[in-house]
Chains A and B, each alone.
Chain A
Amino acid sequence: MRVMVFAKSNEEMAKGMANPTPEMLEAFAAMDKFTEELVQAGVFIAAAGLKNGPESKRIVSEGASRTVTDGPFAESRELIAGFSIWEVKDMDEAVAWAKRAPNAMPGRSEMEIRAFYEAEDLGEFVTPEERAEPRKGERGKLGVA
């Protein structure tokens, strides 16, 4: 199964990106080492850190209208600092790895693990006939990155 692991950020952390403290540099090195372990175990698929600055956008839809808000966004517990995608045998394995991740934030930090919808979970949305029918144009596979 595949999971996406979200690392949450806080304002302090986000501000520190431009001027990292020695502690932050150390935390990043630890994170690098951890990622290397994931690679060596064959678990790691992809990962990226995400900026929280004026270039982040939020799009709110209400009926036909779309409202775009510029970042940075203030709700500190909602900031996603980054994500990574792992391929694991089960959720227990994902949790065991996640507990091993170094705490890259000063103080408390949070991670969240979410399982991918795989093709077999989407039977209600894509019928077998639809699946067999070659699609016109480009359309990604539902639910899979």
Chain B
Amino acid sequence: MTAGETHRAIEATFRLERARLIAGLARLVRNVDLAEELAQDALVVALSEWPQRGVPDNPGAWLLAVAKRRAIDILRRDKMRERKHEEIARTRHGAFDDAAEALETAMDDDLGDELLGLVFTACHPILSPDARAALTLRVVGGLTTEEIARAFLSSETAIAQRIVRAKKAIARAGLTFEVPRGAERAARLPSVLEVIYLVFNEGYAATAGDDLVRPGLCLEARRLGRMLAALMPEDAEVLGLLALMEIQASRLAARTGPDGDFLPITEQDRARWDRLLIRRGLDALVRAEALAGPVSDWGPYLLQAELAACHARARRAADTDWPRIAALYDRLRVVAPSPVVDLNRAIAHSMASGPDAGLRLLDEIAAAAALRHYAPLPAARGDFLFRAGRLAEARSEFEAAAALTRNARERAYLLARASACAGEP
């Protein structure tokens, strides 16, 4: 092995340990920034010592021991400085010594706990969702600032500042890096799930052939989701989110046609759906549903996962269980109301019970301000009218939709549908 290869192998080993290392250190020093720095210092020591002495049996414990020694040095130095200034904060350092000891034992028997604590802290609701996402990708996912900037189509400086500000906000608020329990956990979990799904959607919204870092976000989000599911296997929404992401990711390769144009789910080549991911998604879904009980108790992620599963289970588009999908949208509308959910619900009902049912539901939501300039609304109405044989009306809806969309391919598609209306008797 060349020196370069050894270097890479050590860094690869470090990457496996990095998140837990930072998590353990953050709880010890109560400071993410310092924890990150200490972890990085430990890597530097490993790079100089491992090539001669060999990789230790337990690299994680070795790295933690090195980082902790350094942490203690730093805190002692601070303490001496404080003494000089007669500002001894005994309690803090006393607490630190206790924490160091507690950590020593805790690291052995509850490794997941620190990591979960770090995830909950990085996703704390005092931070904006964007700040949570950037910080989580950095400290838990191990992405570089540059990778995060590319993934979010932002500048490196902007992301770096966002992360710095998030770390400062955490320090100011005196967050403890503990895992919230009971009611507090239930209250804070949605902000964790929101961040993971936001990361997933940033990747999922990117089209094929784009910068590969963006689809890479889907993998990162699924890894976070799987990790969370392993740490919180009793939570139906955690498993629901995981199932949702695995099933949606199964269609990544099938979403685009030969010209790079977007294909709706009913027109995708289902042979290109990834059966392995579908199976994993359905497995997670079964566990989530067993935990959640009747549908009336399901949360938004579980409902959306089951919606995704309805499509995944249908071997052909014609086999889709639209009545079930319509019923799930009826529930989702109660649990997580939004104009887009209303629109999708109308489409589902039109597929389940015919275009008139869809038109009736659209009339109920047409006044929603959020959808006033939303092309999919007239596009859906045009489709319902077309299927009801009301061609002249359908045509003007398709034209209205074409005028609203900013996407050239979508416009061409809608205008083609408009002229198809004119061509009919």
Which residues of A does B touch, CB under 8 Å? 39-46, 85, 87, 89, 92-93, 95-97, 99-100, 119, 127-129, 131-135, 138-141, 144-145
A100 contacts B16, C-beta separation under 8 Å:
yes
Contact A97/B9 with A42-B226, A128-B258, A131-B272 known, Cβ cut-off 8 Å? no
CA A135 to CA B13, docked complex, whole Å: 43
Contact of B102 with A by CB under 8 A: no
Q: Nearest Cβ in chain A — how far from B234, in angstroms?
A: 15
Q: Are A141 and B12 neighbours in the complex by a CB distance under 8 Å?
A: no
* Further pairs besides A96-B16, A145-B276: 13, Cβ < 8 Å: A39-B226, A43-B223, A44-B226, A46-B276, A89-B216, A92-B8, A93-B15, A119-B253, A128-B257, A132-B257, A132-B258, A135-B271, A141-B273
Query: If the complex has contacts A96-B9, A132-B258, are A42 and B273 also in contact, measured as CB distance less than 8 A?
Result: no
Judging by beta carbons under 8 Å apart, are A92 and B225 in contact? no
- A interface majority secondary structure: mixed
20 interchain pairs (CB within 8 A)? A39-B226, A42-B222, A42-B224, A42-B226, A42-B230, A44-B226, A45-B280, A46-B276, A87-B222, A92-B9, A92-B11, A95-B12, A96-B9, A96-B15, A96-B16, A127-B258, A134-B267, A134-B269, A141-B271, A141-B274
Q: How far is the CA of A131 from the CA of B222 in the complex (A)?
A: 26
Q: Are A96 and B112 in contact (CB under 8 A)?
A: no
Which residues on the B side are within 8 Å of A43 (C-beta)? 223
Cβ of B227 < 8 Å from any Cβ of A?
Answer: yes
| A131 touching B269, Cβ below 8 Å | yes
**Number of B residues whose C-beta is below 8 Å from A?**
34
Asked if B269 and A93 make an inter-chain contact with CB atoms under 8 angstroms apart, the answer reads no
Chain A CB count within 10 A is highest, among B12, B216, B219, for B12
Q: Which B residues are CB-close (under 8 A) to A95?
A: 9, 12
Query: Can you name the residue of chain A whose Cβ is closest to the Cβ of B5?
Result: A92
Secondary structure class of chain B's binding surface, majority of residues: helix
Q: Give every chain B residue within 8 A of A119 (Cβ-Cβ).
A: 253, 272
B275 within 8 Å of A (CB atoms): yes
- Of all chain A residues, the one with the shortest Cβ separation from B274 is A144
Q: Mark B339-354, 1 if CB is under 8 A from A, else 0.
A: 0000000000000000
B231 at the interface (CB under 8 A from A): yes
Residue contact A97 to B16, C-beta cutoff 8 Å: yes
Q: Are B16 and A40 in contact (CB under 8 A)?
A: no
Q: A13–B416 Cα gap in the complex (Å)?
A: 66
Chain B hits for A97, CB < 8 A: 16
In the complex, what distance in Å separates the CA atom of A144 from the CA atom of B270?
14
Provide the bound-state CA to CA distance between A12 and B137, in Å: 46
Q: How far is the CA of A92 from the CA of B10 in the complex (A)?
A: 10
Give the docked Cα–Cα distance between A5 and B394 (Å): 55
- The 6 nearest A-B residue pairs measured at CB: A42-B223, A42-B226, A128-B258, A96-B12, A92-B12, A40-B230
Q: Are A87 and B219 in contact (CB under 8 A)?
A: yes
Q: How far is the CA of A144 from the CA of B269 in the complex (A)?
A: 15
Cα of A144 to Cα of B272 in the assembled complex, Å: 9
* A-chain residues with CB within 8 Å of residue B273 when the two chains form the complex: 141
| Nearest CB of B to A5, in Å | 15
Given A92-B9, A132-B269, decide whether A42 and B225 contact each other with a Cβ distance below 8 A.
yes
B225→A93 contact, CB < 8 A = no
Q: Could you say which residues of chain A place their CB within 8 Å of the CB of B11? A: 92
Q: Give CA–CA (A41, B230) in the complex, Å.
A: 8
Query: Hey, what's the 0/1 contact readout for B255-283 against A, CB within 8 Å counting as 1?
Result: 00110000100010111111110001000
Contacts of B257 in A (CB 8 A): 128, 131-132
How many angstroms between the C-alpha atoms of A132 and B315 in the bound complex? 17
Choice from B15, B227, B258 contacting A42 with Cβ under 8 Å: B227
Question: B267 to chain A: which residues have CB within 8 Å?
Answer: 134
Complexed CA–CA distance, A135 and B257 (Å): 14
In angstroms, Cα B227 to Cα A97, docked, is: 16
Residues of B within 8 A of A42 (CB): 222-227, 230
Task: Please measure, in the bound complex, the distance between the C-alpha atom of A127 and the C-alpha atom of B257, giving whole angstroms.
Answer: 11
Contact with A along B29-68 (1 / 0, CB 8 A): 0000000000000000000000000010000000000000
B230 touches A39 (CB 8 A): yes
